[in-house]
Amino acid sequence: MRKIAIYGIIIFQVILIGSLVKGIQTSYKSRERVGDLEKRKNELVAENSKMKVEKEYVQSDYYLEKVAREDLHLVKPGETVVIVPEDSNMREKPAEAKAMAGEGKKQNWEKWWELLVK
């Protein structure tokens, strides 16, 4: 009878130790998860503040006018739109422009001949 009581106590202690180890593991995992969630929270708070600043910018009159002018090509009453070409060929020197004008008098087949032969 005494052996059964000793075996019962040993089994009870093993179960108790196993439960304690499992609890400790759960505690460590919870701490890691809390740390990860705090990191994520900080990232979201930073992103939220960034979005608030962007929202204020997008709702500003400056942004509205910028979009209206650049994307929608709208103008205020009385304004004149001037479009400046971005093509680098338009910024040629006068001598090159004269050469281009003289080249314009050539026949199309002559231009191709020069392009392919030279």
Residue range 22-54, pLDDT digits in tens? 999 999 999 999 999 999 999 999 999 999 999
- Tell me whether residue 43 is exposed, middle or buried, using C-beta atoms within 10 angstroms of its C-beta: 0 to 12, 13 to 18, 19 or more: exposed
pLDDT at position 101 is 57
| pLDDT surpassing 70 at residue 18 | yes
**For 61-105, how does the pLDDT look when each residue is reduced to its tens digit (9 = 90+)?**
999 999 988 888 888 888 887 777 777 655 555 555 555 555 557
- pTM of the predicted protein model: 0.47
